[in-house]
Amino acid sequence: MSNSAPSVDRDNLAISTIRGLCMDMVQRANSGHPGTPMDIAPVAYTLWQRFLRFDPSDPLWPNRDRFVLSEGHASTLLWSLLHLSGTCAVESDYQILGEPAVTLDDLKTFRQLGSHCPGHPEYRWTSGVEATTGPLGQGVATSVGMAMAGRWLAAHFNRDGYDLFDFNVYALAGDGCMMEGVASEAASLAAHQRLANLCWIYDANRVTIEGHVDITFTEDVAARFLAYGWNVVTVADANDLDLIARALHSFEAEHERPTLILVHSHIGYGSPAEDTPRAHGEPFGVDGVRATKRFFGLPEDVDFYLPSDVYDRFAEGVGARGRAARTAWEVTLEAYRNDYPALADQLDRMQRAELPDGWDAALPTFAPDASGLASRESSGQVLNAIAETIPWVIGGAADLAPSTLTRLLVDGAGDSQPDEPSGRNIHFGVREHAAAAVTNGLVLTKLRAFWSGFFIFSDYARPAIRLSALMEIPTVHIFTHDSIGVGEDGPTHQPVEQLASLRAMPGLLVFRPADANEVVEAWRYLVPLKSEPAVLVLSRQRLPTLDRSVVAPASGLRYGGYVLVDAPDGRPDVLLLATGSEVHLALEARDELARDGIGARVVSLPCWELFDRQTQAYRDAVLAPDVGARVAVEQASAFGWHRYVGEHGAVVAMHTFGASAPLKSLQTKFGFTASRVADVARATLLATRKGDHQP
């Protein structure tokens, strides 16, 4: 259907209805932000009705345009759009249901327990939400990943006569988004990539929680984005539907640059007669709502006013246009299946989050080697074996691929650049926060995506890592240089508290493998994941490759922790628990204790989250309840380890920041030697036998 101008009167009724719903939701909840969704409602309405290719009856259609509400506090706007458009709900297994995603009861229970209208958009909770957007700036950064994914999908799947992918990505942002650093990182990357399928709509209402932005934010945003290399269009009045449409046409006509549409809006008032706006997050109050409804021509005594013509208007607009576009796409896809069956199979598997048959058949097995490999090196080899069999594995590094060893070397992988959209190696630049957020966007668009950096810089990416867990998407975060093993780079680059911090995050799997074969098993476990992100924590220094004919198979990693080697009689005096490089230290300490006649069981515990999911019987079989003498060893904070070593156990760990020195000097200084671990084990064993507390 055309996106020519529709009836103004019916449009104004629809926009006023949206504004009324936004007011009523916030007023009923006595919580939320009514002004922002009201001020930008004409822009969102015009976008949805005349431009957005979105089929409410099939919100998972792969070539749909994406709409990301980056100013997530304006969620009532999105709930109104999803309700009025009749967007269908989707089950967790992605089967579309007939029931609406957002019901009238949901609108009436905005911000209440169980409602599909939470305070901010939550992915997986409400169908039609493309990404979780609460922390400002995350939505626009994630949208860059979606746009990059769209460009890659087009390059990979499209063929002459078959334009399967040509979707656009729209993100609605506010002043707060423009202030957040992650948005600047992402905007810079989007400009470099020349993402002409990306449009950010900047709702410049000039108000934040503390008041008018003049107290904090006086830069020329348009000039900044022009300097990045964006196409910038200004809309002087957010209520002028013709100007809004003209700006969106300008975006559609731009084929070289991403577009910023800067909309000058005026945040909603408690009453149009008031001279000053109410607080940014404050309901208007009963009298304010009545006055505002009167101003917009709505019945002031009717809450949740929903004239039937507004439903019809949405059905005639976004509904009809989206259904026609989706139906035509499905016809094209069926013909495509005949001409390109292998590619069609890839597309189907991507959409269902399924892997090619035998995807792991080529995973390497590493022979015993006392010198071994750094786990970053073995991981790089495994990653390339996976990329060989799964063509939609894509990712890169925050300027550190030569160190993280995450470059894809398979034939045709190439670099993702403006003129090479099919490249599978992404150069994120020194932009850790954006790298993680952009990768989330890639994953949300069904690519099996990863990014990498030094472990210490996970701090810069933590908000986006958290959102990958909150959204339950299988983003892979790869971190190398995992400990004081960084050595001479010193404490600024030596992670100490990062492991404990990420282990504390719900829904995130954190792996710290001990050798090359544990690395293989970590990848074997995480690649099939559909709803969990994973963190791989890898070493810079070499780790001996264990002889699995002597110690337990690395497949024990799937349980999160396993008995690597037991006491000779299977009745240990002491348990030695470790992860990563310190597993080898525990093995050396075990040998030293054996010379004293002390039997030690060494437990590799590479993923706490998986271990905690096992049955009590399994966990007891690994961590024998009758053995109180336990020592954990890890070159990181001791925080969290006492859940495994118990009240009388000991932890050989970091209790300060590191220092700048060669690795061996640091290991001696901080007590990471076999003799120190053995000494602590002896003391712990003695204390438990005497009934004393830990040494």
Domain assignments of the chain as residue spans, ordered by start? 10-327, 369-544, 555-690
pLDDT of residue 326: 97
Task: Return mean pLDDT, the chain.
Answer: 94
Residue 472, judged by CB atoms within 10 A of its CB (0-12, 13-18, 19+), counts as middle
pTM equals 0.95
pLDDT tens figures, 199-255: 999 999 888 888 888 899 889 999 999 999 999 999 999 999 999 999 999 999 999
Say yes or no to pLDDT of 7 above 90. no
Over the Cα atoms of the chain, what is R_g? Answer: 28
What is the band of 277 on the pLDDT scale with cuts at 50, 70, 90? very low
- Active-site annotation holder among 180, 185, 282, 432: 432
Residue 306, judged by CB atoms within 10 A of its CB (0-12, 13-18, 19+), counts as middle
| C-alpha–C-alpha distance, residues 646 and 577, integer Å | 12
Say yes or no to pLDDT of 93 above 90. no
432 catalytic residue (yes or no)? yes
Q: How far is CA 327 from the centre of its chain?
A: 31
Pick the CATH number of 369-544 from 3.40.50.12780, 3.40.50.970, 3.30.70.260, 3.90.1150.10: 3.40.50.970
Say yes or no to pLDDT of 96 above 80. no
pLDDT of residue 251: 98
Q: Which residues of 442-455 are buried (b: 16+ CB within 10 A; e: fewer)?
A: bbbbbbbbbbbbbb
208: which residues sit within 8 A by CB, 6+ positions away? 175, 176, 216, 217, 280
Give residue 297's identity as a one-letter amino acid code.
G
DSSP E strand stretches across 196-275: 198-204, 207-208, 211-212, 231-235, 259-264
Say yes or no to pLDDT of 280 above 60. no
430: which residues sit within 8 A by CB, 6+ positions away? 398, 399
Say yes or no to pLDDT of 680 above 80. yes
Q: Using an 8 Å Cβ cutoff, are 498 and 459 in contact?
A: yes
DSSP classification of residue 159 = B
The better pLDDT of the pair 458, 214 is held by 458
| C-alpha–C-alpha distance, residues 150 and 273, integer Å | 46
- Residue 190, helix vs strand vs coil: helix
Provide the CB-side half-sphere exposure for 90 (13 A, CA).
Answer: 20
pLDDT of residue 34: 85
| Helical ranges in 445-550 per DSSP H | 458-471, 498-503, 516-526
Residue 462, token pair as written in the block? 């933590």
Q: How far is CA 620 from the centre of its chain?
A: 34
Least confident of 4-8, 420-424, 481-485, 562-566: 4-8
Tokens 């039997």 map to which residue? 599
Cα separation values, 401 from 176, 390, 426, Å:
32, 20, 10
| C-alpha–C-alpha distance, residues 478 and 461, integer Å | 12
Query: CATH second-level architecture of 555-690?
Result: 3-Layer(aba) Sandwich (3.40)
Q: Using an 8 Å Cβ cutoff, are 465 and 508 in contact?
A: yes
Q: Using an 8 Å Cβ cutoff, are 522 and 513 in contact?
A: yes
- Residue 621, helix vs strand vs coil: helix
| C-alpha–C-alpha distance, residues 435 and 451, integer Å | 7
CB atoms within 10 A of CB 3: 17
What is the band of 440 on the pLDDT scale with cuts at 50, 70, 90? very high
Instruction: For 10-327, give the CATH class.
Output: alpha beta
Q: How far is CA 579 from the centre of its chain?
A: 25
115: which residues sit within 8 A by CB, 6+ positions away? 105, 106, 109
| C-alpha–C-alpha distance, residues 590 and 583, integer Å | 10
pLDDT of residue 8: 62
What is the band of 92 on the pLDDT scale with cuts at 50, 70, 90? low
pLDDT of residue 265: 86
**Angle, CA of 79, 448 and 136, to the nearest 5°:** 40
Say yes or no to pLDDT of 268 above 60. no
pLDDT of residue 146: 98
What is the band of 647 on the pLDDT scale with cuts at 50, 70, 90? confident
| C-alpha–C-alpha distance, residues 591 and 237, integer Å | 76
47: which residues sit within 8 A by CB, 6+ positions away? 67, 170, 201, 244, 248
pLDDT tens figures, 401-424: 999 999 999 999 999 999 999 999
Residue 245, token pair as written in the block? 């449409």
Q: Using an 8 Å Cβ cutoff, are 363 and 389 in contact?
A: no
pLDDT of residue 383: 98
Measured in residues, the chain has a length of: 695
pLDDT of residue 487: 83
What is the band of 692 on the pLDDT scale with cuts at 50, 70, 90? low
pLDDT of residue 281: 59
Q: Give me the residues paired with residue 563 across strands.
A: 603
Tokens 């911000």 map to which residue? 111
What phi and psi, each to the nearest 5 degrees, are found at residue 99? -80, 155
Least confident of 5-14, 85-94, 328-337, 375-384: 5-14
Say yes or no to pLDDT of 23 above 90. yes
| C-alpha–C-alpha distance, residues 638 and 656, integer Å | 10
